[in-house]
């Protein structure tokens, strides 16, 4: 269902441009199928999600057929799947759940995915050796976000495991895979860190009370305390560390854009108006700065420009902030100015043109925003 939002008549050009851009991106992925994609959201399942949106926008049979083909490719891969959202079964689960609206038969696939994930969750939890265990990209947080893609869920085993991890910082302290010889760290980002766990609890559960509410409230307080004031804006380091030299990128995956979007949604869910107001003000201050000051790389959702546009729009939609809406549209325009679809190497939802295209269609009201939950963001409405 297309969403309505305050896209001013002067932005009709942006809307048309986003549509044309997304169709070109879809056709490029159709004509040059990526080699060896994973089954998850950064692979087949993500392409299926983009094709579903393009089918809705254009009514074109080629996109409808491609959506079904990519879901089939994801379901029939002969590997031993991980539970991960971006590389494994949970990505397939989420997109199949959205596809039930047009094809009831996908409910069987969703049930099979849920049963598979449930079978991987029976062991007693133990301290994580890697953030893959609990994070949004590959772990329990992403799996829980996939379960809550279309409707709030009962607190179950996934929420229980995330609460267990959050109870003791030692349980989510682990070496960064790129720096295995460094001392273990507590990761603060949305993609791999504590912000992703907080997003999963506060975006999916039908009742935020008891242990999950206590864990979320404690995490929210701590996440706010780890901020660093930089005069005209606040930033978050990627990890808690006294010995590492850190960057202060403000992106979706690491830093202020993603963290503030999570803080805002968590504060609203926990009825903490003061913290919600802090997050909305801080996001406005961030959005008012020049994009160069955000220290991003590229235009994709992960650490790129369009990821920030989604973060701005998520709070804009919740608060009605005209400044954040126009920042989101300004960034969307900048993305289309910079991206040459013929020459963009990455095609995934997380790191490439399918994510850029889907975000543009969503920001300009062409398609529904439920998928934003998979990125730990409250969908725009
Ligand atoms: Zn990133």
C-alpha to C-alpha distances, 331 to 23, 298, 309, nearest whole angstrom:
19, 12, 6
Q: Helix H segments across 2-60? A: 12-31, 44-58
pLDDT at 176: 84
- Predicted pLDDT at 319: 97
Q: How far is the CA of 317 from the centre of ligand 1 (A)?
A: 23
In angstroms, the CA 145 to CA 270 distance is 18
Tens of pLDDT along 353-364? 999 999 999 999
Residue 331's pLDDT band, with cuts at 50, 70 and 90, is very high
pLDDT tens-place string over residues 15-28:
999 999 999 999 99
What are the C-alpha distances in Å from 238 to residues 14, 190, 256, 259?
Answer: 33, 9, 10, 10
Distance 6 CA to ligand 1 centre (A): 29
Cβ < 5 A residues, ion ligand 1 = 253, 302-303
Ligand 1 centre to CA of 288 (Å) is 21
Q: How far is the CA of 287 from the centre of ligand 1 (A)?
A: 18
Judge whether residue 7 has pLDDT over 80: no
Query: 148 and 203 in contact (C-beta within 8 Å)?
Result: yes
Q: What's the confidence (pLDDT) of residue 305?
A: 98
| Ligand 1 centroid – CA 302 distance (Å) | 4
User: For residues 203 and 373, is the Cβ–Cβ distance under 8 A?
Assistant: yes
* Percentage, residues of the chain above pLDDT 70: 97
Mean pLDDT for 32-60 is 95
pTM above 0.85, yes or no: yes
What is the tens place of the pLDDT at every residue in 151-193? Answer: 999 999 999 999 999 999 999 999 988 888 888 999 999 999 9
SS3 assignment, position 229 = strand
Task: Give the tens place of pLDDT for each residue, 72-91.
Answer: 999 999 988 999 999 999 99
**63 CA distance to ligand 1 centroid (A)?**
28
Measured between alpha carbons, how far is 120 from 308 in angstroms, rounded to an integer?
A: 33
For the ranges 34-38, 61-65, 107-111, the lowest mean pLDDT is seen at 34-38
CB 223 within 8 A of CB 261: no
Q: Which residue has the higher pLDDT, 243 or 318?
A: 318
**Mean pLDDT, to the nearest integer, of 94-105?**
95
Distance from Cα 320 to the centre of ligand 1, integer Å: 27
Q: Are strands 173-174 and 234-235 parallel, antiparallel or unpaired?
A: unpaired
| Mean pLDDT of the region 302-328 | 97
CA 370 distance to own-chain centroid? 11
CA of 307 to the centre of ligand 1 (A): 9
**What's the burial of 168, exposed, middle or buried (CB within 10 Å: 0-12/13-18/19+)?**
exposed
pLDDT at 4 over 60: no
What are 152's two structure tokens?
A: 């709030």
Does pLDDT of 332 surpass 70? yes
Q: Please state, in angstroms and rounded to a whole number, the distance separating the CA atoms of residues 70 and 9.
A: 36
pLDDT at 1: 37
> What does the pLDDT look like over 241-278, one tens digit per residue?
877 778 899 999 999 999 999 999 999 999 999 999 99
Share of the chain above pLDDT 90, in %: 87
Mean pLDDT over all residues of the chain?
A: 94
Please, are residues 87 and 143 in contact by the beta-carbon 8 Å criterion?
no
d(CA 181, CA 169): 20
pLDDT of residue 35: 86
The helix or strand, by DSSP H or E, that contains position 258, with its residue range, turns out to be: helix 256-269
Residue 350 CA, ligand 1 centroid: distance in Å: 8
pLDDT in the model for residue 79: 86
Average pLDDT over residues 58-70: 98
Q: How far is the CA of 29 from the centre of ligand 1 (A)?
A: 22
pLDDT band at 31 (very low <50, low <70, confident <90, very high): very high
pLDDT value at 8 more than 70: no
Query: Which pLDDT belongs to residue 3?
Result: 45
Q: How far is CA 248 from CA 3, 234, 251, 253, 295, in A?
A: 34, 10, 9, 12, 8
Give pLDDT, residue 243. Answer: 73
Q: In angstroms, what CA-CA distances link 90 with 44, 97, 258, 321?
A: 12, 10, 21, 33
H or E element at residue 187 = strand 185-187
Where residue 10 falls among pLDDT bands split at 50, 70, 90? low
Helices (H), 100-242: 106-119, 140-147, 157-166, 194-204, 210-225
Q: Are strands 185-187 and 173-174 parallel, antiparallel or unpaired?
A: antiparallel
């Amino acid at each position: 269902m297309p969403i309505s939002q305050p896209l001013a008549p002067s932005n009709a050009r942006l809307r048309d441009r986003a549509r044309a851009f997304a169709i070109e991106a879809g056709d490029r992925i159709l004509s040059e199928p990526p080699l060896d994609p994973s089954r998850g959201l950064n692979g087949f399942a993500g392409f299926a999600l983009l094709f579903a949106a393009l089918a809705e926008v254009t009514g074109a049979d080629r996109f409808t057929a491609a959506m079904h083909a990519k879901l089939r490719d994801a379901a029939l891969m002969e590997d031993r799947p991980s539970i991960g959202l971006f590389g494994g079964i949970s990505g397939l689960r989420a997109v199949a759940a959205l596809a039930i609206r047009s094809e009831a038969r996908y409910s069987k696939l969703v049930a099979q995915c849920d049963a598979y994930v449930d079978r991987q969750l029976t062991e007693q939890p133990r301290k994580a050796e890697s953030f893959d265990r609990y994070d949004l990209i590959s772990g329990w947080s992403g799996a829980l976000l996939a379960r809550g893609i279309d409707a709030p869920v009962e607190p179950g085993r996934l929420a229980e495991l995330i609460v267990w991890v959050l109870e003791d910082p030692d349980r989510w302290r682990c070496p960064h895979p790129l720096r295995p010889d460094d001392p273990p760290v507590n990761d603060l980002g949305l993609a791999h860190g504590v912000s992703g766990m907080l997003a999963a609890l506060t975006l999916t559960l039908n009742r935020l009370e008891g242990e999950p509410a206590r864990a979320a409230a404690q995490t929210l307080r701590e996440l706010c305390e780890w901020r660093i004031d930089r005069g005209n804006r606040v930033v978050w380091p990627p990890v808690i560390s006294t010995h590492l030299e850190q960057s202060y990128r403000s992106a979706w995956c690491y830093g202020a854009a993603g963290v503030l979007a999570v803080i805002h949604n968590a504060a609203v869910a926990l009825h903490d108006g003061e913290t919600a107001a802090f997050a909305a003000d801080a996001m406005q201050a961030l959005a008012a700065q020049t994009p160069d000051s955000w220290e991003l790389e590229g235009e994709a959702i992960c650490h790129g420009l369009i990821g920030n546009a989604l973060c701005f729009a998520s709070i804009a939609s919740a608060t009605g902030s005209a400044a954040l809406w126009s920042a989101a549209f300004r960034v969307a325009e900048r993305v289309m100015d910079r991206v040459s679809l013929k020459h963009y190497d990455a095609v995934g939802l997380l790191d490439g043109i399918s994510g850029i295209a889907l975000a543009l269609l969503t920001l300009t009201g062409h398609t529904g925003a439920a998928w934003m939950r998979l990125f730990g963001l409250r969908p725009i409405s």
